[in-house]
Structures are given as C-alpha cells and as structure tokens.
Amino acid sequence: MLALRLARGAHPLVQLRRLLVAAAAAGTGFLLLCTLAYAMEHPGAGSVLRLAWCVAPIAATVYFAVAVARTDPGTRPRAGLSAVGLGPARLRVLAAISTAVACALGSMVALLVFLHLRGDLSGLPFDGAAAELLAAERPLPLAAALTLLTVVPLAASATSAAALRPRSAKAGGVEEPAAPAPAPSGLPWGVALLAAGLAVETYASGRGGGPGGGLPMPGGADGNPAGILAGWALTALGLALAGPGLTYLCGRVLQAARPGAVRLLAGRVLQEEARRIGRPLGVVCAVASGAYASAVLYAGPRPGVGPLTTLGALLVAGCAVLTLATAAVEARQSRADTTAALLRLGAPATMLRGSAALRAGALTTVFAPLTWLVAELAALPLGR
C-alpha cells in the first residue's frame, strides 16, 4: 500500500517514466503473445527460434525498468523515512513492487490488445483485424499466455531489487562528499571484444555460409550464418564495456591543459559520471550500429521486414535511448546539491548549461564516429 501511496503522489515526470516502462512492457508482452500465436499456428521448430529472438526486447525492457527504478525518487533513501525505520533495505522492496506494478500494467494492456486483435473482445474498431495472423480459430492456452506475460514483471522487479541493494551503510540525509570513483577498467576488454567480434564476423562471412545454412533472422531474411550473429553480439558487448572507459577519457581530455571554469567542471563531472553515463551510451551505440548493419542487410533483395520485427527493433532502440536519458536524469539528480551551491556562489546558469552542452558535445564527437566506424565494419561482410 505504501508503494501505491508514494507512487500516487509523485511528480508527473516520474509518472511519465513509469508509464514508459509500462509501454515497453506492453510491447514486449505483445511480442511474446504473438510468438505464442505463431507457435499455435505452426507447431514446428521455427517457433522456438522466434521465442529466442524475443530475448532482445525482454532484455532491453528490463534494462530500462531498472534504470527507471534507480532514478525513482520514491526509492531514494530519505532522512524522514530512514528515521521511521524505512531504510534502504525496505525501500528496495518498494522499488521492486513499483517496478512490478508498472510492468504488470503493461502486460495487461498487451493481453487486452492481443485479445482485441484476435477478435475475442469486441465492440471497438479493429475487432479481429489480425484474426488469422494471431490464430483466432484456436483457443488461447491461458496458462501459457499468463506465463509469458509474467516474464517481464518478474524479471524486471527481481533485477531492480538486486540492482538497488544497499552498497554502503550510507543513510539518506548525511552529506559527506563521496570519494572519487576510480577510473573504469573495462576499456581494454571492450576494445578486445569489439575487435574479436568484427574478426569473427568477417571470418564467418568469408567462409561463405550459403543460403539456408544458418539461423533464420526475424522477418524472413534467413540465411545468415551463426558466426555473423555471434560477431554482432561480441561487438555489442565490447561497445557496452568500452563505454565507461571512453567517457572517462573524454572527461580527462576535456579538463586537461589549464582549464577555465566551464572545461574544468565539464571534464571532472564527466570523469565522475563515467560509469553512470558511459554504459547506457555504449549500449545505445551498439544498438545504433546494429540498426545500421540491419538496414544494410534488409536493403538487399530479400524479403521485407514484418510488423513484429519492426516492433521488436523499435522496442530495443527506444529502451536503449530512454535508458540513456534516464541515466542523464539520475546524474543530474545526484548533482543537485552541488549545482545549488554553485548557483549560490553566483555561477551563471548559462555557464552550467554550457558545461552540460560541452559534455554532450564531447561525447557525441567521440561516440558518433566510433559507432559509424563499427557499423561500417560490421556491415562490410553483409554487403557482399
């Protein structure tokens, strides 16, 4: 009940974030139900693979839900709640509950839309618009549908509870300056994985996996050897691992060589927030390079992209971008005290905005060419 009460009184922007989580969960739930419908229609080997492809949107949704749970002001340790015994440990439970509520809401919407499009629920436009696609003539196995729909809420709430476990004994309200975060160490690993991924991909395509020789892609564009997919996965993992290290380096370069106030603040903040910003940024880059490569892949004389593939791709891309935005909000929240102190000193608000813009610009100048390069290299073997 407390979770609901806290959720009810929240700021509209916080509600919007929760609503976005619900929307992502709805999209993922709908994809899962469509996979179920396909499996009912075509009981064969292909449906397992389709289900496996749903892992990507599920992972993206869970990732986004955890990022939102982190920024949720309701789950932040607060001096008042801490005093009445509602410390970080109990707040973790609250976070898990509110994440589960948002995701369950999304799953409900997915089920309603699915039933509606099948024609089971009537009285609205588009009744049974996709009846034959969604296996309307067969009864829906309720247990299977519910199992699929509980995957996202359970995974999201369990992950957010794990992610929010109290790391230190720091209670809310105690203002002690935190020790500077050590430099992220993932950069060499990230670069190594990136290179390995590109190499695997090139090697696999060089071996010439003929049509029909490998895993089918969603949307019918089959004939891609598993090697290319493994290469893609390695590349994406490498980018996500290299993100924090690259961000840290960006900050380090920004504040080097006799900085003024703007460069000093921008660089140091970037160094401090490298982990928080860098990881989602790396994921966004990985998704972007994947999108570029798949654009090249589907541009060829192959079957077009189905609506469900588009939905899945949109879910993954949207969740990645929204997670980055949420991480930026989280970084801003954690620096609110310092910003207030700077404003009291008379720091112009334009200077603070300029510093933020400088940070964004530096990250863009580093990550945009990198993404483009990785995408070009990844798409190179596909184009042949």
Sign, CA dihedral 341-343-345-350, equals positive
Nearest-approach distance from CB 249 to other proteins, in angstroms: 16
Site for other proteins in 262-321 (CB under 8 A): 264-265, 268-269, 271-272
Q: Site map for other proteins, 253-272, x if CB under 8 A? A: -----xxxx--xx--xx-xx
Is residue 169 a contact point for other proteins (CB under 8 A)? no
Angle at CA of residue 59, ends 140 and 103, nearest 5°: 60
Q: Using CB under 8 A, which of the segments 76-84, 107-115, 284-292, 333-341 binds other proteins?
A: 333-341
Q: Does 172 bind other proteins (CB under 8 A)?
A: no
Residue 252 binding other proteins, by CB under 8 A:
no
Is 137 one of the binding residues for other proteins (CB under 8 A)? no
C-alpha Rg value of the chain to the nearest Å: 23
The CB-of-242 to other proteins minimum distance in angstroms stands at 23
* Alpha helices by DSSP H, the chain: 2-8, 12-41, 46-53, 55-71, 79-83, 88-118, 142-163, 187-206, 226-254, 261-272, 274-299, 307-334, 336-344, 349-383
Question: What tokens were used for 172?
Answer: 């809310």
Burial class (CB in 10 A: 0-12, 13-18, 19+), 85: exposed
Least distance from other proteins to the Cβ atom of residue 180, Å: 6
Compute the least distance from the CB of residue 206 to other proteins, in Å. 48
Nearest-approach distance from CB 257 to other proteins, in angstroms: 9
Q: Which of 8, 167, 344, 384 binds other proteins (CB under 8 A)?
A: 344
Among residues 237, 332, 328, the alpha carbon closest in space to that of 285 is found at: 237
CA 74 vs CA 10, 13, 98: distances in Å:
8, 13, 9
Q: Per rule CB under 8 A, is residue 336 in the interface with other proteins?
A: no
Size of the site for other proteins (CB under 8 A): 28
The residue from 342, 363, 374, 382 that contacts other proteins (CB under 8 A) is: 342
Distance CA 17, CA 13 (A): 6
> Cβ distance 187 to 275 under 8 Å?
no
Specify the residue, 82 or 255, whose C-beta has the smaller distance to other proteins. 255
Residues near other proteins, by CB under 8 A: 175-180, 258-261, 264-265, 268-269, 271-272, 337-338, 340-342, 344-349, 351
